């Protein structure tokens, strides 16, 4: 069954990150399987209007102002006309939103539901329940996912989190992990310059923010450096906490090197300069960096948080509690293994990870979700209102009013630009060139 | 060599094999279930109310003393402002009260510090007494010099505006004050400064420089000196009750309405709020699980690390061959030599 899918998210290229990569690679693999994919995101600088990417991936950069943290202001109303036009002219059947933080995704899903389309939501992040921002965000997610046909999470921990946050049924949430482009992340090849044989190099690559455990890094590095004469640190990434590591660099000027932000295309070259990859994140739904590092032949030492224990088999990763002492102990063991050469064969590890995580498999499993929802019954407005009314005495009626208001706006749009006057666009002449369907 | 044979691609089509009835909550391990399969115990990692503390009603009421003391202090300041403004008390008597309270309070505070072994006699003499005398002297001089200017600070404003503004500032003072809780809203600097600003605003509405200066001196006693003294009263309920009762009588001298407002306010703070807390805490459901942001444990033996660093300090550091550091090269080129 061929589907026409609209991927909606605030986070897409030219911005770089996990969600952006996910949307792009998933779209490419779905196009390969014969589906039509359109991406909708907000404008990035002078990148506005319609752009075409590889294999006819059409991207709409809609005019919406970024409000906070790369996401637009959630309003549910002002983007209705433009979404309606896009969804009708592209003959979209399924609206697929990405990212709980993405207001555009929630707006897109809302308009999709107003037009009676099927909706899927992918949650990429974990969120707590205790603080005020979590309570507000979870409430919005609960409202947004109340009438979404299906949700996707990237790990089992993520699924438990989403089920609790959005109060939806477990069977309506699938677990489909992220993947990594394995052709980009290969272990060191003969002829390439790697780390020196007489030293052990520990690689760190992440955004240098609190959630990535920079405090832990700055606790571990002095201990390891004082302990071993032959262990160096190579740190990539940038962020507000960089200064903390700069101070360490000044103290251990020959042993710690900060290289700043690294282009995604150069990450593999960065990885092969080391033996061990250290991840000190404090929360992760699915850590792509550890998969990329393991595929590049590095031994991974990571904190046991979020979905990380689910991602890599025990032979490729060493897990530790998020405290300095425990991480140093695990690093001691791994450094000893590296010195003795007692590690898994990098190419074998690469082959295993390639078989576990690839975008074609992700696309195949996502397609199964699309196949499952396409015959689902579309909810009527009264059914949706009945669901909204369960949210409480204030929020429930409020969202029923919002639904009523958006219905009026849709009616005005229908009067102003009737559906039959919207031109249906010609699809890109893509064909399923790949034998993916037979997979 | 490690065996990876069991980690193979997860199939979407159900296959029958020996693992058919076994669902793994891992992404790398093979199982034959659909992606949306939910095993009955998939929420087994959920924990409820792990860090929740339950308090009895008495404990909760005693704990509110910290807040009620501060409210009482604000009310006391307002009562003095009112009576100075209406010439019911003279500035001289306010000075006398402030001065004697300061001396007695200072003596009690230092005795308390001394008996609790917080400070020894030498520290008391050197640090506390001399330093505090210096600060008091300087503050007194500056207040005296600046009073004529402060008194005309809000001349162009309406008195209602000043009163409303002061109410907001006292609210900020109460909200941001440190009651012994670690929270984002706690900011001692903001709390003290808002109280001082409110104090100046009210002082500027009085009729003469002497009135203004006497109220300021009383304000300094209330909002700068008393918070240190109040810690002694936090767990001494009879003292707080006595303070509250005396103030109820004093507030009647302003107006019966003001007294009613004060009593209702204290009743809400001391009785209603703790009772509601004790009743509703049992309904709290704090969900914890592996999705929570971990709190990094940074407790490390810094002495050991620093000792190691000191030992190594004068040795030339081992330089990695492959790590070319531009800064070092630049320094070497400039002839500065090897930095430590």
Q: Which of A51-65, B283-297, B315-329 has the lowest mean pLDDT?
A: B315-329
Interface test with B, best of A121, A167, A225 (most B CBs within 10 A): A225
Q: Which of A356, A374, A391 is the last residue of a domain?
A: A356
For residues A166 and A251, state if they share a domain: no
What pLDDT, on a 0 to 100 scale, did the predictor assign at position A4?
Answer: 94
What is the domain count for chain A? 2
For residues A297 and A170, state if they share a domain: no
B300: pLDDT confidence band, cut at 50, 70 and 90? low
CB atoms within 10 A of CB A140: 15
Of A249 and B114, the structure prediction assigns the larger pLDDT to A249
**Residues B215, B80 contacting (CB under 8 angstroms):** yes
For residues A299 and A338, state if they share a domain: yes
What pLDDT, on a 0 to 100 scale, did the predictor assign at position B303?
Answer: 58
For residues B158 and B10, state if they share a domain: no
For residues B87 and B27, state if they share a domain: no
Angle at B111 between CA B105 and CA B114, to 5 degrees: 140
For residues A337 and A278, state if they share a domain: yes
What is the domain count for chain B? 2
Domain that holds residue B93: 57-283
Report the distance separating Cα B124 and Cα B112, nearest Å: 11
For residues A37 and A106, state if they share a domain: yes
Q: Which of B267, B283, B299 is the last residue of a domain?
A: B283
Residues 14-33 of chain B whose Cβ lies under 8 A from any Cβ of chain A: 25-29
Q: Do A310 and B291 touch (CB under 8 A)?
A: no
Q: Is residue B220 one of the residues assigned to a domain?
A: yes
For residues A71 and A103, state if they share a domain: yes
B323: pLDDT confidence band, cut at 50, 70 and 90? very low
What pLDDT, on a 0 to 100 scale, did the predictor assign at position B21?
Answer: 58
ipTM tops the 0.85 cut:
no
Q: Do A222 and B305 touch (CB under 8 A)?
A: yes
pLDDT in tens, A126-162: 988 877 888 888 888 999 999 899 999 999 999 999 9
Residue A149 token pair:
């046909």
Q: Which of B283, B306, B330 is the last residue of a domain?
A: B283
What pLDDT, on a 0 to 100 scale, did the predictor assign at position B331?
Answer: 38
CB atoms within 10 A of CB B78: 20
Is 50 exceeded by the pLDDT of residue B312? no
Q: Is residue B338 one of the residues assigned to a domain?
A: no
Cα B135 versus chain centre, distance = 24
pLDDT in tens, B62-98: 888 888 888 999 999 999 999 999 988 999 999 999 9
For residues B277 and B182, state if they share a domain: yes
Q: Is residue B180 one of the residues assigned to a domain?
A: yes
Q: Is residue A192 one of the residues assigned to a domain?
A: no
Q: Which of A380-389, B19-28, B29-38 has the lowest mean pLDDT?
A: B19-28
Q: Is residue A332 one of the residues assigned to a domain?
A: yes
Residues 197-236 of chain A whose Cβ lies under 8 A from any Cβ of chain B: 199, 201, 211, 213, 215-216, 219, 222-223, 226-227, 229-230, 232, 234
Q: Is residue A30 one of the residues assigned to a domain?
A: yes
Identify all chain B residues contacting A233, using CB atoms and an 8 Å cutoff: none
pLDDT in tens, A342-374: 888 899 999 989 988 989 999 999 999 999 998
For residues B196 and B236, state if they share a domain: yes
Q: Is residue B207 one of the residues assigned to a domain?
A: yes
Q: Does A134 touch chain B (CB under 8 A)?
A: no
For residues A16 and A89, state if they share a domain: yes
Share of chain B above pLDDT 90, in %: 23
Q: Which burial class, exposed, middle or buried, applies to B107 when counting CB atoms under 10 A from its CB (0-12, 13-18, 19+)?
A: exposed
Is 90 exceeded by the pLDDT of residue B116? no
Q: Which of A305, A339, A356 is the last residue of a domain?
A: A356
What pLDDT, on a 0 to 100 scale, did the predictor assign at position A81?
Answer: 94
A42-48: long-range contacts, CB 8 A cutoff, minimum separation 24:
A42/A10, A42/A66, A42/A72, A42/A104, A44/A14, A44/A15, A47/A14
Minimum Cα–Cα distance from B37: chain A residue: A171
Domain that holds residue A83: 4-179+359-429
For residues A266 and A368, state if they share a domain: no
For residues B173 and B37, state if they share a domain: no
For residues A156 and A254, state if they share a domain: no
B231: pLDDT confidence band, cut at 50, 70 and 90? confident
Q: Which of A356, A374, A390 is the last residue of a domain?
A: A356
Q: Once rounded to an integer, what is the mean pLDDT over residues B274-298?
A: 86
Average pLDDT, chain A: 90
Q: Is residue B310 one of the residues assigned to a domain?
A: no
What pLDDT, on a 0 to 100 scale, did the predictor assign at position B81?
Answer: 93
pLDDT in tens, A380-432: 999 999 999 988 889 899 999 999 999 999 999 999 999 999 999 988 876 65
- Three-state SS for A177-200 is CCCCCCCCCCCCCCCCCCCCCCCE
What pLDDT, on a 0 to 100 scale, did the predictor assign at position A44?
Answer: 92
Q: Once rounded to an integer, what is the mean pLDDT over residues B1-10?
A: 40
Q: Is residue A214 one of the residues assigned to a domain?
A: yes
Interface test with B, best of A305, A326, A345, A439 (most B CBs within 10 A): A305
Which residue, among A234, A235, A226, has the nearest Cα to A332 in the 3D structure? A226
For residues A12 and A159, state if they share a domain: yes
For residues B1 and B148, state if they share a domain: no
For residues B113 and B69, state if they share a domain: yes
Q: Is residue A436 one of the residues assigned to a domain?
A: no
Report the distance separating Cα A404 and Cα A408, nearest Å: 6
Q: Do B322 and A230 touch (CB under 8 A)?
A: no
Q: Is residue B276 one of the residues assigned to a domain?
A: yes
What pLDDT, on a 0 to 100 scale, did the predictor assign at position A74?
Answer: 84
A1: pLDDT confidence band, cut at 50, 70 and 90? confident
Q: Do B26 and A321 touch (CB under 8 A)?
A: no
For residues B173 and B40, state if they share a domain: no
**Residues A224, B309 contacting (CB under 8 angstroms):** no
For residues A266 and A316, state if they share a domain: yes
Residues 319-338 of chain B whose Cβ lies under 8 A from any Cβ of chain A: 319-323, 325, 327-328
B112: pLDDT confidence band, cut at 50, 70 and 90? confident
Q: Do B8 and A312 touch (CB under 8 A)?
A: no
Q: Is residue A186 one of the residues assigned to a domain?
A: no
For residues B11 and B78, state if they share a domain: no
Q: Do B291 and A161 touch (CB under 8 A)?
A: yes
Interface test with B, best of A132, A137, A142, A159 (most B CBs within 10 A): A159
Q: Is residue B194 one of the residues assigned to a domain?
A: yes
DSSP letter string over A240-304?
TTHHHHHHHHHHTTTTEEEEE---GGGHHHHHTT-SEEEE--S--SS-HHHHHHHHTTPEEEEE-
Q: Once rounded to an integer, what is the mean pLDDT over residues A37-63?
A: 93
Q: Once rounded to an integer, what is the mean pLDDT over residues B188-200?
A: 91
Share of chain B above pLDDT 70, in %: 79
Which residues are A318's β-sheet partners? A301
Secondary structure tally for chain A: helices H, strands E:
15, 16
What pLDDT, on a 0 to 100 scale, did the predictor assign at position A193?
Answer: 87
Is 60 exceeded by the pLDDT of residue A115? yes
pLDDT in tens, A189-246: 988 888 888 899 999 999 899 989 999 999 999 999 988 889 999 999 998 999 999 9
Q: Is residue A32 one of the residues assigned to a domain?
A: yes
Q: Once rounded to an integer, what is the mean pLDDT over residues A237-262?
A: 90
What pLDDT, on a 0 to 100 scale, did the predictor assign at position A26?
Answer: 95
For residues B32 and B93, state if they share a domain: no
pLDDT in tens, B233-272: 777 777 788 888 898 889 999 999 999 999 999 999 989 9
For residues B73 and B124, state if they share a domain: yes
Is 60 exceeded by the pLDDT of residue B334? no
For residues B67 and B25, state if they share a domain: no
Residue with tokens 């949306």: B36
Q: Do A232 and B294 touch (CB under 8 A)?
A: no
What pLDDT, on a 0 to 100 scale, did the predictor assign at position B302?
Answer: 57
Residues 254-313 of chain B whose Cβ lies under 8 A from any Cβ of chain A: 286-300, 305, 308-309, 312
* CATH value at residue A258: 3.40.50.2000
- Three-state SS for chain B is CCCCCCCCCCCCCCCCCCCCCCCCCCCCCCCCCCCCCCCCCCCCCCEECCCCCCCCHHHHHHHCHHHHHHHHHHHHHHHHHHHHHCCCCCHHHHHHHHHHHHHHHHHHHHHHHHHCCCCCHHHHHHHHHHHHHHHHHHHHHHHHHHHHHHHCCCCCCCHHHHHHHHHHHHHHHHHHCCCCCCCCCCCHHHHHHHHHHHHHHHHCCCCCHHHHHHHHHHHHHHHHHHHHHHHHHCCCHHHHHHHHHHHHHHHHCCCHHHHHHHHHHHHHHHHHHHHHHHHHHHHCCCEECCCCCCCCECCCCHHHHHHHHHHHCCCCCCCCCCCCCHHHHHHHHCCCCCCC
For residues A299 and A365, state if they share a domain: no
Q: Is residue B325 one of the residues assigned to a domain?
A: no
A260–chain B nearest CA distance, Å:
13
Q: Is residue A44 one of the residues assigned to a domain?
A: yes
A352–chain B nearest CA distance, Å:
7
């Amino acid at each position: 069954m061929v589907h026409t899918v609209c991927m909606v998210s605030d986070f897409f290229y030219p911005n770089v990150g996990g969600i952006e990569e996910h949307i792009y690679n998933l779209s490419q693999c779905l196009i390969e399987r014969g589906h039509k994919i359109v991406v909708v995101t907000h404008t990035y600088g002078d990148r506005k209007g319609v752009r075409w990417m590889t294999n006819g991936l059409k991207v709409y950069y809609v005019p919406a102002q970024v409000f906070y943290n790369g996401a637009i202001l959630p309003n549910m109303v002002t983007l209705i006309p433009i979404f309606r036009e896009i969804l009708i002219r592209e003959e979209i059947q399924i609206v697929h939103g990405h990212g709980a933080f993405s207001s555009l995704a929630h707006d897109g899903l809302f308009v999709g539901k107003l037009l009676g389309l099927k909706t899927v939501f992918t949650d990429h992040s974990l969120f707590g329940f205790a603080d005020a921002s979590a309570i507000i965000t979870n409430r919005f997610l609960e409202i947004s996912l109340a009438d979404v046909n299906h949700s996707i999470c990237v790990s089992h921990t993520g699924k438990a989190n989403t089920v609790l946050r959005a109060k939806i049924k477990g069977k309506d949430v699938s677990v489909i992990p992220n993947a990594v482009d394995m052709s980009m992340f290969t272990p060191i090849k003969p002829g390439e310059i790697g780390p020196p044989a007489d030293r052990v190099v520990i690689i760190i690559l992440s955004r240098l923010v609190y959630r990535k455990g920079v405090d832990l890094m700055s606790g571990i590095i002095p201990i390891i450096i004082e302990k071993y004469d032959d262990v160096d640190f190579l740190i990539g990434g940038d962020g507000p906490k960089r200064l903390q590591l700069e101070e360490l660099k000044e103290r251990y000027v020959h042993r710690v090197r900060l290289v700043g932000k690294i282009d995604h295309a150069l990450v593999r070259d960065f990885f092969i300069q080391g033996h061990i990859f250290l991840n000190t994140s404090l929360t992760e739904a699915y850590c792509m960096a550890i998969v990329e590092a393991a595929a590049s032949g590095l031994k991974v030492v990571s904190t046991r948080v979020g979905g990380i224990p689910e991602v890599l088999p025990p032979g490729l990763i060493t897990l530790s509690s998020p405290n300095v002492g425990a991480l140093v102990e695990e690093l001691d063991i791994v450094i000893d293994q590296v010195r003795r050469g007692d590690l898994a064969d990098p190419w074998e590890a690469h082959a295993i990870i390639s078989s576990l995580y690839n975008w074609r498999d992700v696309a195949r499993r996502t397609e199964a979700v699309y196949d499952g929802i396409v015959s689902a019954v579309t909810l009527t407005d009264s059914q949706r209102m009945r669901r909204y009314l369960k949210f409480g005495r204030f929020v429930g009626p409020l969202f029923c009013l919002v639904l009523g208001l958006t219905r009026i706006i849709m009616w005005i749009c229908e009067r102003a630009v009737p559906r039959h006057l919207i031109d249906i666009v010609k699809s890109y002449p893509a064909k399923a060139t790949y034998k993916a369907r037979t997979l | 060599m490690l065996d990876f044979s069991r980690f193979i691609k997860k199939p979407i089509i159900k296959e029958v094999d020996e693992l058919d009835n076994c669902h793994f909550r891992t992404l790398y391990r093979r199982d034959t279930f659909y992606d949306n399969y939910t095993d009955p115990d998939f929420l087994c990692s959920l924990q409820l109310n792990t860090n929740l503390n339950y308090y009895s009603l008495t404990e909760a009421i005693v704990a509110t003393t910290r807040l009620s003391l501060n409210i009482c202090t604000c009310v006391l300041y307002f009562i003095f402002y009112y009576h100075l403004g209406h010439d019911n008390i003279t500035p001289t008597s306010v000075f006398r009260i402030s001065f004697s309270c300061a001396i007695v309070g200072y003596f009690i505070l230092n005795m308390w510090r001394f008996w609790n072994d917080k400070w020894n006699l030498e520290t008391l003499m050197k640090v506390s007494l001399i330093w505090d005398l210096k600060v008091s002297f300087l503050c007194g001089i500056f207040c005296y010099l600046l009073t004529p200017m402060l008194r005309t600070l809000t001349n162009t404003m309406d008195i209602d505006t000043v009163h409303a503004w002061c109410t907001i500032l006292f609210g900020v003072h109460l909200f941001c004050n440190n009651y012994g809780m670690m929270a984002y809203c706690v900011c001692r600097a903001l709390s003290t400064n808002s109280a001082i600003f409110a104090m100046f605003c009210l002082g500027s509405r009085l009729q003469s420089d002497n009135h203004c200066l006497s109220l300021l001196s009383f304000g300094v006693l209330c909002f700068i000196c008393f918070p240190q003294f109040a810690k002694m009263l936090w767990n001494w309920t009879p003292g707080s009750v006595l303070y509250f009762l005396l103030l109820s009588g004093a507030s009647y001298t302003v107006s019966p309405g003001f007294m009613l407002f004060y009593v209702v306010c204290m009743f809400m703070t001391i009785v209603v709020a703790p009772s509601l807390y004790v009743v509703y805490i049992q309904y709290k459901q704090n969900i914890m699980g592996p999705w929570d942001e971990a709190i990094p444990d940074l407790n490390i033996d810094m002495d050991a690390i620093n000792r190691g660093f000191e030992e190594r300090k004068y040795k030339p550091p081992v330089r990695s061959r492959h790590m070319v550091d531009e800064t070092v090269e630049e320094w070497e080129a400039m002839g500065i030599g090897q930095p430590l």
